[in-house]
Amino acid sequence: MRKLKGLIDIFLISIALLIGIIFLMSKSPLNSIYQLFIGPLSSPYFFGNTLSHTAPLIISSVGIAIAFRCNLINLGGDGQMYVGALVASLVAIYLAPFGKISILFALIIASLSGAILAFISAYLKVKLDTPELISSYLISIASTYFVSYLITGPLQDPSSNLQSTNKVDFMLEKIYLPSNLSTAIFYALIIAFLFYYIFTQTKFGYENKIIGYNKEFARYGGISVSKNYYISFSLSGALVAFAGGIYIFGNYQSVIKGFSSGIGFSALTISLIALNNPLAIIPIAFIISLVNQGSIMAMQNSDISSDVALLFQAIIFLLITSSTLLGEKKNVKLN
């Protein structure tokens, strides 16, 4: 309960700081605040779109949480998501003759691609003690440039005005027209519940947690730390890449240049706030998505920049591991 109280405190502090900054920056602060917080809830269309963006956020946050639980930080989210989206769209276009089932294959292969990217970092961590924080970030930068090159070069859709690839033929079913909301939200919920089960009820989840608390103790107890690092980090990358695929089949239909930029960090924020609990990730991903959507509306309908969403996340990020505010005796351990 003390933790929950602390979390609410941090949320309130962040919102207060955000409102303070809006008052400083905006000529019509009340309108800006209205657009930011109430805007996305004002019509079914915007509400549906908010939910539609929540789905991939939930999935990628669960992915980041897996790594966090065993004290690894996956900073490669942006790149893994970008690569996942590209692979998903390529596979879907290639397998389009097989019909809707192509989406399933596309998502599986996209997850594999993310797993491979993340596995490199885990391998380097286990074999050479390279900090996974830096290696995953560097891999993410390199792969982001490479995917951007493919999107604007050989794979660009010549008929599109945006810098994007060809559109995929099949999308997930829309369930709340006219908004973009698709069945993706159900898959996201299933994944969240599945990993809640895995984390709390299985041997893997238990070992994962013990390594997070104390690596040496886990080793002493006969848990293979390196095996767990491989599995957790690969799984983390796989889920983030999967979320990239969901962006294609649920929202965008094609890979747009730079669409994933910053989402990896949003996922980090969400899983930190949720204290790596997949069920808590669901509402928090919704709130972050709400602020993201609200910031876009505030940019269109008032005079503040859409980056207030980033600022909001940054402030939460700054405070969220505070053991003073969360009422813990010891530091929140991550590394």
Partner 1 sequence: MLNLINSTLNLFTPLFLISIGAIITSKSGTLNIALEGLTLIGALFAVIGANLSGSLLIGTLFAIFASVLLASIISLVNSVLKTNPFITALASNMLATALTLIITFSIYNSKGLLRLDIAPLKLIDTLFLGKLTIFLPISIFLYIIIYLLIEKTPFGLELKACGYNPSVLDAFGISKTKLDSIALIMSAVFCALAGSYLSLRQGAFISQMSANKGWYALVIVFLCNSNIKFLIPATLVFASSEAFSNYIQGINNLPSDIALMIPSVFTLIVMIAISYYNKQKQTTIKG
Q: Which two tokens stand for residue 81?
A: 């998501």
**Whole-angstrom distance, CA of residue 266 vs CA of residue 272:** 10
Q: Which of 174, 153, 150, 141 is nearest to 260 (CA)?
A: 141
d(CA 193, CA 175): 21
Among 60, 74, 135, 232, binds partner 1 (CB under 8 A): 135
Q: Which stretch binds partner 1 (CB under 8 A): 46-54, 201-209, 216-224, 297-305?
A: 297-305
SS3 content of the chain, % helix, strand, coil (to 5): 75, 0, 25
Closer by beta carbon to partner 1, 42 or else 305? 305
Q: Is 298 in the site for partner 1 (CB under 8 A)?
A: no
Q: How many residues bind partner 1 (CB under 8 A)?
A: 52
Is residue 197 a contact point for partner 1 (CB under 8 A)? no
Indicate whether 23 belongs to the interface with partner 1 (CB under 8 A).
no
Residue type, 9: D
The CB-of-315 to partner 1 minimum distance in angstroms stands at 7
Q: Residue 129: left if φ>0, alpha if ψ -120 to 50, beta else—which one? A: left
Our CB check for partner 1 shows the closer of 87 and 272 to be 272
8 binds partner 1 (CB under 8 A): no
> Which of 253, 271, 293, 313 is close enough to bind partner 1 by CB under 8 A?
313
> What is the CB neighbour count within 10 angstroms for residue 8?
10
Spatial CA neighbour of 141 closest among 89, 88, 77, 237:
77
Q: Would you count residue 226 as binding partner 1 (CB under 8 A)?
A: no
Q: What's the one-letter identity of residue 155?
A: L
The C-alpha angle 274, 278, 284, rounded to 5 degrees, equals 45
Kindly identify the residues of this chain, within the stretch 60-89, that bind partner 1 according to CB under 8 A.
Answer: 73, 75
Q: Which stretch binds partner 1 (CB under 8 A): 85-93, 136-144, 209-217, 234-242?
A: 136-144
As beta bridge partners, residue 164 has 256
Q: Where are the beta strands (DSSP E) in the chain?
A: none
Residues 6+ away with beta carbon under 8 Å from 154: none
Contact stretch for partner 1 (CB under 8 A) within 129-137, 172-180, 182-190, 231-239: 129-137
Instruction: For the segment 137-176, give every residue that binds partner 1 (CB under 8 A).
Output: 137-139, 141-142, 145-146, 148-149, 152-153
Q: Binding segment for partner 1 among 20-28, 48-56, 85-93, 202-210 (CB under 8 A)?
A: 20-28
Contact with partner 1 (CB under 8 A) among 19, 108, 287, 310:
310
Number of other residues whose CB lies within 10 A of the CB of residue 310? 17
Q: Is 47 in the site for partner 1 (CB under 8 A)?
A: no
Q: Tell me how far CA of residue 50 lies from CA of 71, 140, 200, in angstroms.
A: 31, 26, 29
Structure tokens at 126: 């286990």
Site for partner 1 contains 265 (CB under 8 A)? yes
Does the footprint of partner 1 cover residue 308 (CB under 8 A)? yes
Q: Which residues, including other chains, have CB under 8 Å from residue 243's CB and lie 6 or more apart?
A: 56, 57, 59, 60, 63, 81, 84, 267
304 touching partner 1, by CB under 8 A: yes
Residue 15 touching partner 1 (CB under 8 A):
no
Tokens for 155?
Answer: 């794979």
Among 127, 158, 161, 220, binds partner 1 (CB under 8 A): 127
Q: How far is the CB of 92 from partner 1 (least distance, A)?
A: 23
Which residues in this chain contact partner 1 in the complex, by CB under 8 A? 21, 25-26, 73, 75, 124, 127-131, 133-135, 137-139, 141-142, 145-146, 148-149, 152-153, 265, 268, 272, 303-305, 307-308, 310-311, 313-315, 317-325, 331-335
